Amino acid sequence: MTGWQEIGDRVFVRRYAFYDQNIGVVVGDGGLLLVDTRVSHRQAEEIRDDIRSISSLPVTSVVNTHGHSDHAFGNHVFRPATIWGHERCATMIASTGERQRERLANVMPELADELAEVVLDPPDRTFETTTTVEVDPGGRTVELRYLGRGHTDNDIVITVPGADVLFAGDLLENDATPYFGDAFPLDWPGTVERVVEFATGVVVPGHGTIGDRGFVVRQMTEFRSIAELARLGADDRLDIDAAVLRTPYRADEARQPLERALVQLAGELD
C-alpha cells in the first residue's frame, strides 16, 4: 500500500508530487468515494491504478472540492461514477474550464497534449449548503458542507462520520503560499473560522502536509492578516510595498493576495 496513508478508519490520502496535491479515498462496503481527480486524464488514470493497492472495489462517487483544473479535470475518467460538487463548482467548470485549460497549457507547455484530451465533465450532483453522500447505497456516508467563499466561491469541506477526518480542499494549503487568483480574501478568514469547528481530527489540505486544528487556526490568522493589511492599504495608511513585507508569505508571492484583497475592497468582485 506504498504511497497511501490511512488517516482514519478506511480513509486514505495519497500525496502526489505534481502540485504537491493530496487525493483522498473513502472505502465503503461496495464502492469507493474519491476526493478530487487531478489535472488530466493521464493523472486521473494514475490515481485509478494506484487505488488498486487499497481495494478492488469500483469508484462509485467522486467529490470535487472546487472547480479548479487540478481538482476536476480528471473527472471523466471515473464515469459512470456520480460526481458531486457545489452548484457553483459545476458552473465554474462549465464557464471557465476552457480558459483554465488554455492558461495552464501556456504556463506548462509540457502538459499541453494531455490537457488537450481532457473532456470537461462537471459535477452532475450539486448542492448549495450541506448534503450527505452515500459511498454505497444504504452504507457508509460522507458529509459535504459549503462554509462560505474563500479560495473560490465554491469550496466545500468533506467530513467522514466515524473517522475523524476533514478534507479542506484549497481552503487550506500547506508548505506554499495559497493561490489567491480566484479568491475572496475578505471572506476567506471567516470561512476558515467555520472550518475550525469541524476540524476535530486529521485535516487534509488541498496541497501540502496534512495537519490538525492548530494548522487550521494558524491559516485563519494568516488570512486575517492579509485582509487587515489590505484594509490599511485601502485607507492609505500603508503602501503596498510596505504591506508586502508584513504578510506571512514570501515577499515575492505576497503581492497577489494583497492586490486581490484590494480588488475585493473596491467592490469589483461582486
Reduce the secondary structure of the chain to three states and give it as a string: CCCEEEEECCEEEEEECHHHEEEEEEECCCCEEEECCCCCHHHHHHHHHHHCCCCCCCEEEEECCCCCHHHHCCHHHHCCCEEEEEHHHHHHHHHHHHHHHHHHHHHCHHHHHHHHCCCCCCCCEEECCEEEEECCCCCCEEEEEECCCCCCCCCEEEEECCEEEEEEEEEEECCCCCCCCCCCCCCHHHHHHHHHHHCCCEEEEEECCCECHHHHHHHHHHHHHHHHHHHHHHCCCCCHHHHHCCCCCCHHHCHHHHHHHHHHHCCCCC
Which region, judged by CB under 5 A, interacts with Zn ion, from 73-81, 87-95, 131-139, 168-176? 168-176
Q: Which is nearer to Zn ion, 28 or 178 (CB)?
A: 178
Q: Taking contact as CB under 5 A, which single stretch among the options 17-25, 62-70, 191-199, 233-241 is the one that binds Zn ion?
A: 62-70
Minimum CB distance to Zn ion smaller for 5 or for 96? 96
Q: Counting contacts by CB under 5 A, is residue 149 touching Zn ion? A: no
- Residue 38 interacts with Zn ion (CB under 5 A): yes or no: no
Rounded CA separation 107/179 (Å)? 15
Stretch that binds Zn ion, among 88-96, 105-113, 166-174, 189-197 (CB under 5 A): 166-174
In the complex, least distance from residue 38 CB atom to Zn ion, rounded to whole angstroms: 12
Nearer to Zn ion, 14 or 151 (CB): 151
Of 60 and 191, which has the nearer Cβ to Zn ion? 191
The correct pick among 50, 170, 173, 222 for binding Zn ion (CB under 5 A) is 170
Nearer to Zn ion, 28 or 205 (CB): 205
**Should residue 155 be labelled a site residue for Zn ion when binding is judged by CB under 5 A?**
no
Q: How far apart are CA 119 and CA 40, in angstroms?
A: 9
- Asked if 173 is part of the footprint of Zn ion (rule: CB under 5 A), the reply reads no
Q: Which stretch binds Zn ion (CB under 5 A): 53-61, 94-102, 120-128, 163-171?
A: 163-171
Count of residues that bind Zn ion according to CB under 5 A? 2
| Complex with Zn ion: residue 70 or 135, whichever CB lies closer | 70
* Stretch 65-84 residues interacting with Zn ion (CB under 5 A): 68
Which residue, 50 or 170, is less far from Zn ion as judged by CB? 170
Q: Is 153 in the site for Zn ion (CB under 5 A)?
A: no
Site residues (vs Zn ion, CB under 5 A): 68, 170
